[in-house]
Amino acid sequence: MRIWFVCVLALAGTMYGGRFGMRAKRQYTMLIVAILLLLVVVVYLWADFTVNPPDPKPSHIGGYYDDAFTLTFKVPKNSTIYYTTDGSTPTTASQVYQGGIPIKNRTPEENKYNAVANVILDWQHFVAPEDPVEKGTVIRAMYINDWGYSSDIITQTYFVGIDKPKDALTVSLVFDEDNLFGEDGIYVTGKKYDEWYLSGDTQTEAPLANFQQHLETTALLEILGENGDILNQTVGIRIQGSSKRVWAKKRFILVAREEYGGSKLFEYNLFPGVDTHSVMIKDYLTDAMVASVVEDRAISVQGSIPVQVYLNGEFWYTSYMLERYDNQYFKEHYKVNDVIVVKDGIPEEDVQWNGQTYDQFLAYVKKSDFSDPEQWDELLKSVDIQSYIDYITTNYYFCNWDVSENKNYVLWRSTENRQQDYQDARWRWCIYDIDMLEYTLGYFPVENAAEVNIFSCEAPFLPDPLNQGLLFQAFKESEAFRRQFVLSFMDMVNNNFRPEKMETVLKEFGYDLSWQGGYFLKRPTYAPQHLAEEFDLQGALEIVSITSNLPEGGSIVVNTSAVDLTDGTWDGKYFTDYPITITAEANSGYRFVGWKGATNTDAHTITVAVDGGVALEAVFAKK
């Protein structure tokens, strides 16, 4: 922009001197001015090229190739290309480009990072994989011209003779080796721990390993899509999780920061319609799939993307990239500017405000008696109780026994109370770290995980069963809560978790209903039993059947869930302890006529007892 501005000035000066400089002296002056301006342009262009050399342009973009090839760069005059192939930052001490770089399948080469031992605590007993893993080639290159100025560093990862992942993105994490695997690296035990470990000292407490600390370093995050990079950005990287930090294959948090890559947001919309500040890479199906199952409920969920992860070109694992609960997440999803996020009872950020803190909320709950309807109504001013119910129900249904009110527990509230939408300063809950279903058979004496009652089971790592939590016990004193919980629980069993829906979701991730011994086929049998036991239900479980004469004519909501009437019929089961509420809403171009069956009325919303079962037809007509 500055160059064009200078050019315009020069041209204007020349025209002015030629057209209006009638007197010789004035013509001479204007000519000198024009020449000087043109000289400024030339000097500016030369200086701009000298100080800001263009980035190297590779002959091939990063990605997957069937056959080996030679990578080339077009080298400008008066400059030299320096490059690396190991992920390190190129310098003038790096290799000098001289006519081409061979790119081939490096899989047969010895594993490097997969062979590092001190990624676990007892690393003298580490067993490295015997077979070589898939490997790509990471090229990092830059120009340095004869005046000593350098271009930006380009980073591209190439895979030869390796199948491109199906329905997944490739995440190539590129870094200086010391940042992750050096003695001060974030992925290893580290110098202090290793000295203690090798000393054989059993009297002194072990120092925290590097990977047990919340250390952050930098890496280049390159994400490959169908046609090369969709993201190529320097980010912060740290180890994710708590107990799983001690595993050899650790999980990551990736954070966009201005000081690293020039932006506090990822420069690509990884998740549709939202800007993202940070993500986590986790490796369990339940963490990834739960968002598709309960996205319509009053709880926060994390979008997920299947990924294949490589460290400096070496295959690490197949996993999932998930959204992370931070201020940016809530700003994008709920249109709130400032929030308090509490994880495991501790605020994630120090937010100064005059509203209720989490500790104050717990103290308030502890001293309250919610069997009193007035006190219950007062609670609802500070809590989205449907969010809490949906949170507990989802954790129960996914057999997430590693959860309590102080572990794997995330909730949030806006700092503003405008009494509208989500800006009402009420506490709401987030589905987080819901991955224990895949470990259940190793901890409980059951034939299938579907049998485990998460309400009352005494699980490893937890001080008390879920139903012993302060909030759960206090809320259960309210009759209104018990009714809402029982109805909502069955709504989700009948809709969100029905086997037909779970089958569809599982297929999206390459599985079917046989996954985990047919867990989602069997859980609907045990779930009502566990609910009845926990809430001391005395009634029978009866079938509610709803049909529609025109499925396209409108929608039907039973209690808290819209039911699927695509085929004209929907069935669900409810306990006779509580009546159910059903609402019909006509679509555009139609009108609701009324109900036929268990009741005959033209009221849009009806409440019916389920004793003996219920059969209803919703009647719609075209306008």
Q: What is the pTM of this model?
A: 0.88
CB atoms within 10 A of CB 605: 11
Mean pLDDT over the full length of the chain: 90
| Residue 113 maps to a domain | yes
Residue position matching structure tokens 């939202």: 274
User: How far apart are alpha carbons 348 and 585 in whole angstroms?
Assistant: 41
pLDDT at 420: 81
Domain termination residue (choose one: 535, 553, 571): 535
Helix, strand, or coil (residue 429): strand
Same domain, 447 and 575: no
17 HSE (CA, 13 A, CB side): 20
Burial 475-490 (b: 16+ CB within 10 A, else e): bbebeebbebbbbbbb
Q: Which residues contact 116 (CB under 8 A, 6 or more apart)?
A: 181, 187, 188
What distance in Å separates the CA atoms of residue 177 and residue 194, rounded to the nearest whole number?
Answer: 18
H or E segment at 579?
none
Residue with tokens 């990578």: 71
Angle at 342 between CA 338 and CA 347, to 5 degrees: 80
* 295 domain residue, yes or no: no
Please identify, among 266, 301, 323, the residue that sits at the C-terminal boundary of a domain: 323
24 burial type by CB count under 10 A (0-12 exposed, 13-18 middle, 19+ buried)? exposed
pLDDT at 43: 46
139: which 2 tokens? 């090229």
Query: Do you know the residue count of the chain?
Result: 623
In the chain, how many domains are there?
A: 4
In whole angstroms, what is the distance from residue 436 CA to residue 444 CA?
Answer: 12
**Ramachandran area for residue 259 (φ above 0: left; ψ -120 to 50: alpha; else beta):** alpha
Same-domain status, 370 and 501: yes
- Residue 598 belongs to a domain with what CATH number? 2.60.40.10
Mark whether 33 and 74 lie in a shared domain: no
Nearest to 274 by CA among 338, 335, 232, 340: 335
Low-confidence ranges of the chain (pLDDT < 50): 1-22, 41-50
Instruction: Please check whether residues 508 and 550 belong to one and the same domain.
Output: no
Six token digits for residue 431: 């589905």
The answer to whether the beta carbons of residues 143 and 81 sit under 8 Å apart is yes
For residue 293, is it within any domain? no
Tell whether 129 and 77 lie within a shared domain. yes
Does residue 508 belong to any structural domain of this protein? yes
Residue 266 belongs to some domain of the structure: yes
The residue type found at 109 is E
Residues 556 and 512 occupy one common structural domain: no
Structural domain contains residue 288: no
Segments forming the whole domain that contains residue 447 = 327-535
Question: Do residues 463 and 418 share a domain?
Answer: yes
By the 8 A CB rule, do 278 and 254 touch?
yes
Burial bucket for residue 36 (CB in 10 Å: 0-12, 13-18, 19+) = exposed
Give the torsion sign (CA, 183, 184, 185, 188): positive
Same domain, 559 and 464: no
Give the model's pLDDT for residue 30: 61
